[in-house]
Amino acid sequence: MEAVWEQLRAATRTRAAVLVRGESGTGKELIARTLSKAQGEGPWVVVNCCAISESLIESELFGHAKGAFSGADRDREGLFETANGGCIFLDEIGDIPPSAQARLLRVLQEGEVRRVGESRVRHVDVRVIAATNRDLETAMKSGEFRTDLFYRLSVHPILLPPLRSRREDIPGLVRHLVRKHTRAGATLRSVSAPAMELLRSHPWPGNVRELENVLLRVLAFGGSGPILAEELRPHLRPIVSGMKEEIPIMDLDYPGFRLAMDELERHFIEEHLVRHGGSILGTAQALSIGRTALHNRIRALDMNPAELRRRVKGVSEAISGENT
């Protein structure tokens, strides 16, 4: 995310086109709004390119003259004219039909728009920010997306990483979202350690938007104590059914596999700690590694030392009681 902020800072210094790429729910519109605010005063126009039919998109973007087509009973300015002096956000740009791509390229190159059914050219000063979750490289190879338009749009490319690749950000995001969605006067709820671990281990196919929706549902049920793992589980999609089709289940680089291996290692370390009465030295010798290496693994696995000692002590006492 530090690289994202650096790209964002660079993009605020110019009015060149920006292409924001990332999976659904990663915050592409948030980035676009941040850029718009950095530009200062001016119109902010949002266009969902996949929500406009192919027959109407040119009229919506560039306007039309009276009588240009059936139903055009008056002159109408397009969204680029509406955004003149400000920013236009073209969401889902990968779904824009080929027929409109050439005219969009003209706007980016020359700042010119021509209404449908009209020969007059109008000049606009609009910053274009586009976003997509599609693989545009594949679309260009198949001819669905113009290569020249791609390079005009991506003067400042910004790639947003999926939430599963930046799990260390989840605790901060959770605290922010809980504050954001706690009603005025209501008790601000904390999140228990097991609940936070559950949130950190979930694959989040819907990214930050999915995380926000889960917390919204949990907070809607009320309560004043810490949010517990038991409250979260009914709202989390099962890991297998939530996987993206393009992520193989047995892909060793898939975060779910690494998390499972980490969990196995945690249990393995805890078991040996119990066997050796909580002794780091005894556990390290049994595992044939150094004390420092064991300490490093405990930190890398995000194992809380105090919680670890408490759990080891509890298990040891239980075993001692059974033996007695």
The number of C-alpha atoms within 13 Å of 245 and in the hemisphere containing its C-beta is: 0
Report pLDDT for 324.
47
Look at strands 122-123 and 112-113 and give their pairing. antiparallel
Report pLDDT for 260.
59
Under the banding of pLDDT at 50, 70 and 90, the label for residue 276 is confident
26 and 100 both lie in a single domain: yes
151 and 228 both lie in a single domain: no
Report pLDDT for 240.
43
Residue 246 scores a pLDDT above 80: no
157 and 168 both lie in a single domain: no
Report pLDDT for 307.
64
Instruction: Give residue 132's identity as a one-letter amino acid code.
Output: T
Domain end call among 131, 161, 191: 161
179 and 316 both lie in a single domain: no
Within a domain: 247: no
* Residue keyed to tokens 């904390």: 190
Rounded mean pLDDT, 171-191: 91
Under the banding of pLDDT at 50, 70 and 90, the label for residue 222 is confident
State how many domains the chain has: 3
Report pLDDT for 315.
54
- Joined together, the tokens standing for residue 71 give 């139903």
Residue 305 scores a pLDDT above 80: no
Under the banding of pLDDT at 50, 70 and 90, the label for residue 251 is very low
Lowest mean pLDDT among 113-122, 157-166, 239-248: 239-248
Q: What is the CATH number of the domain that holds 15?
A: 3.40.50.300
3-state secondary structure of 216: helix
The C-alpha angle 180, 43, 82, rounded to 5 degrees, equals: 135
Q: What are the tens digits of pLDDT across the range 66-101?
A: 888 877 888 889 999 999 999 999 999 999 988 889
Within a domain: 250: no
Under the banding of pLDDT at 50, 70 and 90, the label for residue 131 is very high
81 and 28 both lie in a single domain: yes
Helix axes 255-275, 305-323, angle to 10 degrees: 50
Distance of CA 294 to the CA centre of its chain: 34
Nearest to 209 by CA among 31, 23, 36, 46: 23
Q: What is the CATH number of the domain that holds 214?
A: 1.10.8.60
Within a domain: 76: yes
Lowest mean pLDDT among 135-139, 157-161, 197-201, 262-266: 262-266
Report pLDDT for 297.
83
The burial of 277, by beta-carbon neighbours within 10 Å (0-12 exposed, 13-18 middle, 19 or more buried), is given as exposed
The burial of 143, by beta-carbon neighbours within 10 Å (0-12 exposed, 13-18 middle, 19 or more buried), is given as exposed
Within a domain: 295: yes
215 and 127 both lie in a single domain: no
Report pLDDT for 283.
81
Residue 122 scores a pLDDT above 50: yes
What gap in Å lies between CA 47 and CA 25, rounded to an integer?
17
Under the banding of pLDDT at 50, 70 and 90, the label for residue 261 is low
Containing H/E element for 194? helix 193-201
Nearest to 80 by CA among 99, 103, 102: 103
Range of the domain at 27: 2-161
85 and 149 both lie in a single domain: yes
Domain end call among 242, 272, 294: 242
142 and 200 both lie in a single domain: no
Within a domain: 75: yes
Answer yes or no: are the C-beta atoms of 52 and 96 closer than 8 Å. no
Report pLDDT for 263.
67
Q: What is the mean pLDDT of the chain?
A: 84
87 and 140 both lie in a single domain: yes
- Joined together, the tokens standing for residue 198 give 């559950």
Nearest to 171 by CA among 265, 34, 304: 304
Nearest to 4 by CA among 244, 208, 213: 208
227 and 260 both lie in a single domain: no
Domain end call among 242, 265, 282: 242
What gap in Å lies between CA 150 and CA 322, rounded to an integer?
69
Under the banding of pLDDT at 50, 70 and 90, the label for residue 320 is low
Under the banding of pLDDT at 50, 70 and 90, the label for residue 134 is very high
Within a domain: 249: no
Report pLDDT for 302.
74
Answer yes or no: are the C-beta atoms of 110 and 153 closer than 8 Å. no
Within a domain: 248: no
Percent of the chain with pLDDT over 90: 47
203 and 62 both lie in a single domain: no
Q: What are the tens digits of pLDDT across the range 23-65?
A: 999 999 999 999 988 877 789 999 999 888 887 888 999 988 8
The burial of 278, by beta-carbon neighbours within 10 Å (0-12 exposed, 13-18 middle, 19 or more buried), is given as middle
Report pLDDT for 250.
36
Report pLDDT for 292.
83
155 and 168 both lie in a single domain: no
Kindly report the backbone phi and psi dihedral angles of residue 76, in degrees, each rounded to the nearest multiple of 5, phi listed first.
-145, 130
